[in-house]
Chains A and B, each alone.
Chain A
């Protein structure tokens, strides 16, 4: 899979990551520092909790984006995978097991469910893939709802404690934010490495030219399968964060609307970009939780925002913003160019 043939099919979005040098590194450092500083900058605990939610949904959206953005496979069943991990953790904790076992079992169960999803859904692409994942997600929802002896039906399962890694309590919102941030940064790093790897390039190849990739000797189905597994892993991690965050799980967290919300995060932020899903998650969580306190019809507002994104930035917020700033730069530099003294200060629109 490390064939040099992978390089011609690099994704333009990934080059955005690889490009730049010191400036980019500084930007990343500033962003990480800003995220670390969030709980200290915000006085009210409530907003720290919102920030934790943004990060955990961002992990969910990052996982979904591996499939939607890089593999070109739109899944409407990811909330099911999210739920499998969350339910296994909640069930084991309620049965009196320890956190380490519960988390590992949750991840394992999430991955097994993902493998099942992948084995069934990857027989198709396009609309059929969407419909199969939708059906599988609904099956998991149905199990959560009806297998009452295990899941408690719609009364759900409560979790009363959070884990204590290295003896540090995560009960306080700020501590939980820090833990979520670490997981989030690991997830972003993992996706960045994944996308920049030859495997990521091959995955983008299967999205853009599946037949050609097949002719070049790539095993398209296996590439998609492992991408699905990676996506499922991140989704399971998000599910586990969710169950520890809310300390409760019930079938509503697995419903179709939850899958659709994840998809909206990916698409509104920018599918196939590293930061798009993160921005999308922030947008959805903020409108849902913060704006809804001021606007009764917040659903309309969310809808209006999405319509605006589709009209003005069909590629999503992050790539759209990049495009708009670039064209602004270019028109500015063109004006300067007429006076022929600003050629050196031209930005890097070529990257």
Chain B
């Protein structure tokens, strides 16, 4: 894998060297070959390749490269120059790397970044620069109360997957009392807020909410506090779900567990054991989606990286498809940023790894979300466990079933909103 990444770097350096040689040739009035060719489309990626978020960040890059290899580095009729930048997972790094992509590499579009605080750090800047950004970061408000017109989110807001999850837990699983636990940061608050709001709307109630720190070596003390409920909702991300589910199982707890998009990500299946069997999750992507694009994507990931992909790679692949479609719509034209952004917003695809998708007027995705249960049935690609789809929700918007105005009248989901009520 690292060999692959390195080889990208080498080729980029070769590109630089090539430009230098080209410039030298021009200076010495060497007869340069006059090739009539459209300028390559510059595709920038802000990802995280060092530090604690690196695992997801590397999958993002794999998703992009899988798409580019499949299309032979040509999208919308233009050759693609792909530039990947490592933010190091911190806001100052994200800002600097965004400047690098915009000012030095003159990219036409930025994919990424991964974390909400990285996106917040570049939010003002990309608006000033009118730079289209297709981010994976889920920060709700950037497509809700403080929208950024140059941000397009083809993945999901933090709460978007948890709202159907809350609905499903209340109406289909017929559960009444939920105990929520997730990491102590904005992504966690917004997920649990979404779950709570939707769960309560359909008659459930939340007993308590626990917020362990992002880096918690052992979840046992938290698991020990879980009681007096009939379902546990966890919203862990990264590799934390693995450790939480182990601690949960070894404490002997038997309440069913539900989670959002990160808690049962397909990329985690190879690391999960029996403790994860029965875990119900809601995700914008699942390996079982029966579209041609998803088969091509999974085959590509297996071939290129020998890895069973999860949503990070899948959603970046989807982002590439969106850019490709927009570029086709403008006839390969990306110079007029406002026009290009409008074309991106208007993209409406059906054949993607996540199924059909379109965008609402605030630039957030409206798409299919999958409720899945982990079991052993149907496991493929050498996995022992499998996320079996048990229900699909089509055309899920970030506002779930609430009218937009009513949804936006509330404050953004936080530690204290919605508040705990008597249960």
A289 within 8 A of B: yes
Are B99 and A46 within 8 A (Cβ)? yes
Alpha-carbon distance A158/B185, docked complex (angstroms): 17
Interface size class on chain A is: 20 to 34
Q: How far is the CA of A296 from the CA of B95 in the complex (A)?
A: 18
CB contacts under 8 Å to A, within B369-401, are none
Closest to A159 in B: B124
From B12, B89, B104, B185, contact of A46 by CB (8 A): B104
The answer to the question of A100 belonging to the interface, with a C-beta cut-off of 8 Å to chain B, is: no
Q: Does B13 contact A (CB under 8 A)?
A: yes
Contact status A248-B96, CB under 8 Å: no
State which residues 221-236 of A face B: CB under 8 Å.
Answer: none
A49 interface neighbour in B5, B86, B99, B116, Cβ under 8 Å: B99
A residues with a Cβ closer than 8 A to B are 44-47, 49-50, 53, 146, 148, 153-156, 158-160, 242, 246-250, 252-253, 288-289, 292-299
Count B-side interface residues using an 8 Å CB cutoff. 36
Name the residue among B92, B104, B124 with the largest chain A CB count within 10 angstroms. B92
Residue of A148, A155, A250, A299 contacting most chain B CB atoms (<10 Å): A155
**Does B100 lie within 8 Å of A248, measured CB to CB?**
no
Please give, as numbers and ranges, the residues of chain B lying within 8 Å of A49 by CB-CB distance.
96, 99, 103
- Give bound CA distance, A289 to B86, whole Å: 9
B120: interface (CB < 8 Å): yes
User: For A297, what are the chain B residues with a Cβ–Cβ distance below 8 Å?
Assistant: 2, 50
Find out whether the CB atom of B117 lies under 8 angstroms from the CB atom of A156.
yes
Interface of A is mostly: helix
Find residues 167-215 in chain B having any chain A CB closer than 8 Å to their own CB. Answer: 184-186
A253 surroundings in chain B (CB, below 8 A): 90-92
- Chain B residues whose CB sits within 8 angstroms of the CB of A299 once the complex forms: 50
A242 to B121, CA, bound (A): 12
List residues of chain B with CB within 8 A of the CB of A47: 104
Given A148-B414, A294-B9, the answer on whether A252 and B92 have CB atoms closer than 8 Å is yes
Tell me if B91 and A156 are in contact (CB < 8 A). Answer: yes
Are A46 and B124 CB-contacts (below 8 A) given A248-B91, A288-B93, A296-B2? no
CB-based nearest B residue for A49: B99
**Quick one: closest A residue to B49, CB to CB?**
A296
Which residue on chain B has the smallest CB distance to residue A296? B5
B61-97 contact mask (Cβ, 8 Å, vs A): 1 or 0: 0000000000000000000000001101111110111
Q: Is B257 an interface residue, CB under 8 A from the partner?
A: no
Give Cα distance in the complex from A155 to B99, angstroms.
20
Q: Chain B residues near A156: list those with CB within 8 A.
A: 91, 117, 120-121
Nearest residue, chain A, Cβ from B8: A296
A-B pairs with the 9 shortest C-beta distances? A46-B104, A46-B103, A252-B90, A248-B121, A45-B103, A250-B117, A246-B95, A250-B91, A154-B185
The complex places the Cα of A155 from the Cα of B187 at a distance, in Å, of 9
- Docked CA distance A136–B169 (Å): 44
CB within 8 Å for A155 and B117 given contacts A292-B86, A293-B85, A295-B9 = yes
Distance (Å) between the CB of A283 and the closest chain B CB?
16
C-alpha gap A282/B219 in the complex (Å): 41
Once bound together, how far apart are the Cα atoms of A160 and B91, in whole Å? Answer: 16
A292 with B186: in contact, given A44-B103, A247-B125, A250-B120 (CB under 8 Å)? no
- The answer, yes or no, to whether B6 is at the interface (CB within 8 Å) is yes
Output the least CB separation between B411 and chain A (Å): 11
